[in-house]
A and B are shown apart, each in its own frame.
Chain A
């Protein structure tokens, strides 16, 4: 049990990083589409 919790404690961070990457990629995609729609630059 303790080993499983500690393993989760180590591996949760890369999993969380992957989730953040997915959220940010989705956000950037929306930013790009919004900029194109308005005919503006992304930044």
Chain B
């Protein structure tokens, strides 16, 4: 017996996608601008940009995964998923401001790397972005198919096809602008569902009495808010991964280049709180499920939240839950389509095929064709039920390997293409060795891996401190973090290959990039980035970067770099 009839589910989907399509009709232009198709006018206001950032970052998988974490790790589980994901948005904004300062007319991060290092570095970033966005698209379509088939008489593939066509229908013509506009409506639907469904399920399953009657169902680790198991198995690997996702994911960069420059900080802070509240809240459903003694259907934890909704919610709230999930996955899927189109438009067509002299009209059509092809690929991959986890491991590793070289390239004028590329390749290779245990992580090799992983831990924490507090704090906090982790990691970290391999990627990329940069004689003038990254069409209201808008130190002449204690001063 399905909870939603065929008529109900078709009506819900028709209303959802019909309303989204109707909204985008209001902004449709016969002749869409190439720059607008990728990043709007570069001056979107606070409300729209913060809504879009939040809606994009909350996807169906994050709701399911947060609940899974709450179910597995109890009291702290939801925090170890949602809090770190939210914090990532906060930590990335200082770097975002630097990206905008250096390249106010950029459309993709890979475009900036092209201006900084050339084609090789650009294609590494663009390639990983493309792969990541196609995977994300497939995951969202798969989640839609699974939800539709669970709650209605429609099949998995019917759900996938309706969702894919629905998302494509309202995103195709206006691209990124349509994605941002619909994100607000989708976010409203999502938050309303969260605000109503979580308290409803909590009180339906027993309310405060649940803690008295169900507490014995938790083991010692699940009862502990400071559970070591939850931290090492969920929190720490996720904390490390999200920084990589923030840098490697074009959907975030795209919004960064679209928001009005002076609104970057409030936008990111609001998105941090919004994402945290929604995802941790949904994660609490997993915690409630353990307390109430609920088991997921067929033992599959992805069925936990849909199963709870189907069992305990009245028909109206099941409809709300359905819209919550469809809204979350559609807002991310349309962002993925916009991200994919802008990478192909700017990085492949604009910078490589057209060699920097693209025809704007052709460029827009390149974006639209990309969306159609990407949707078809997402549907095919969803049909084939490919092993998502394995692909995510590879993309996550590649993104983890590029974080340090990308960030440091935009602050340190001595990083060159050789340092960037070598660091990424070495880090990716070391990740593969540790993650899949291609070599036994024992004896001296295990010890060296753990030492480098400690450097990686210092790099992750140090980068975050550097972004918020500056170079001195970043270096101090990074060294302290590595020193604090060291006694716990040596001999023990090898038991956690996911965490070890992620930290190893950071450590190796940082060491290789730093060593090769110290040997480099290049001293890059950061003003060149703004000169090289320009609008593809008629200039809009954006402010072109000048020497005065870039921090003075970045524009210092070559002889200004000075030696300090054997190491060159980082030009900030």
Encode B198-218 as 1/0 by CB contact (under 8 A) with A: 110010000110011000000
Given A3-B212, A10-B284, A42-B27, A31 and B274 touching (CB < 8 A)? Answer: no
Say yes or no: A13 contacts B47, CB within 8 Å.
Answer: no
Say yes or no: B274 contacts A28, CB within 8 Å.
Answer: no
State in angstroms the CA–CA spacing of A4 and B212 once bound together.
11
* CB closest residue in chain A, given B46: A27
Judged by a CB distance under 8 angstroms, whether B544 is at the interface is no
State in angstroms the CA–CA spacing of A27 and B276 once bound together.
19
Q: Which residues of B contact A3 (CB under 8 A)?
A: 208, 211-212
Say yes or no: A43 contacts B27, CB within 8 Å.
Answer: yes
Least CB distance from A1 to B in Å reads 11
Q: Which residues of A contact B207 (CB under 8 A)?
A: 7
Given A10-B284, A13-B280, A43-B177, A26 and B47 touching (CB < 8 A)? Answer: yes
**Number of A residues with CB within 8 Å of any CB on chain B:** 32
Judged by a CB distance under 8 angstroms, whether B40 is at the interface is yes
* CB closest residue in chain B, given A29: B47
Q: Which residues of B contact A20 (CB under 8 A)?
A: 54, 191, 270, 273-274, 277
Q: Which residues of A contact B51 (CB under 8 A)?
A: 24, 27-28
Least CB distance from B42 to A in Å reads 11
Least CB distance from A16 to B in Å reads 4
State in angstroms the CA–CA spacing of A20 and B274 once bound together.
6
Judged by a CB distance under 8 angstroms, whether A14 is at the interface is yes
Judged by a CB distance under 8 angstroms, whether B418 is at the interface is no
> Which of B143-151, B181-189, B460-468, B487-495 is near enough to bind chain A?
B181-189
Judged by a CB distance under 8 angstroms, whether B446 is at the interface is no
Say yes or no: A28 contacts B191, CB within 8 Å.
Answer: no
Say yes or no: A23 contacts B194, CB within 8 Å.
Answer: no
Q: Which residues of B contact A29 (CB under 8 A)?
A: 47
Task: Scan residues 6-65 of chain B and give those whose CB is less than 8 A from a CB of chain A.
Answer: 27, 40-41, 44-48, 50-51, 54
* CB closest residue in chain A, given B273: A20
State in angstroms the CA–CA spacing of A39 and B532 once bound together.
31
Say yes or no: B191 contacts A18, CB within 8 Å.
Answer: yes
Encode A3-43 as 1/0 by CB contact (under 8 A) with B: 11011011101111111110111111111001100001111
Q: Which residues of B contact A34 (CB under 8 A)?
A: 45
State in angstroms the CA–CA spacing of A28 and B274 once bound together.
15
Q: Which residues of B contact A25 (CB under 8 A)?
A: 47, 188
Say yes or no: B45 contacts A17, CB within 8 Å.
Answer: no
Q: Which residues of A contact B41 (CB under 8 A)?
A: 40, 43
State in angstroms the CA–CA spacing of A23 and B50 once bound together.
10
Judged by a CB distance under 8 angstroms, whether B180 is at the interface is yes
Task: Scan residues 441-498 of chain B and give those whose CB is less than 8 A from a CB of chain A.
Answer: none
Encode B162-197 as 1/0 by CB contact (under 8 A) with A: 000000000000000100110010011001101110
Judged by a CB distance under 8 angstroms, whether B288 is at the interface is yes
Judged by a CB distance under 8 angstroms, whether B77 is at the interface is no
Say yes or no: A21 contacts B27, CB within 8 Å.
Answer: no
Say yes or no: B198 contacts A13, CB within 8 Å.
Answer: yes
Judged by a CB distance under 8 angstroms, whether B110 is at the interface is no
Residues of A within 8 A of B (CB): 2-4, 6-7, 9-11, 13-21, 23-31, 34-35, 40-43
Known pairs A16-B276, A16-B281, A31-B47. 13 more at Cβ < 8 A? A2-B211, A4-B208, A9-B284, A13-B284, A16-B273, A16-B277, A21-B195, A24-B187, A42-B27, A42-B181, A43-B41, A43-B44, A43-B177
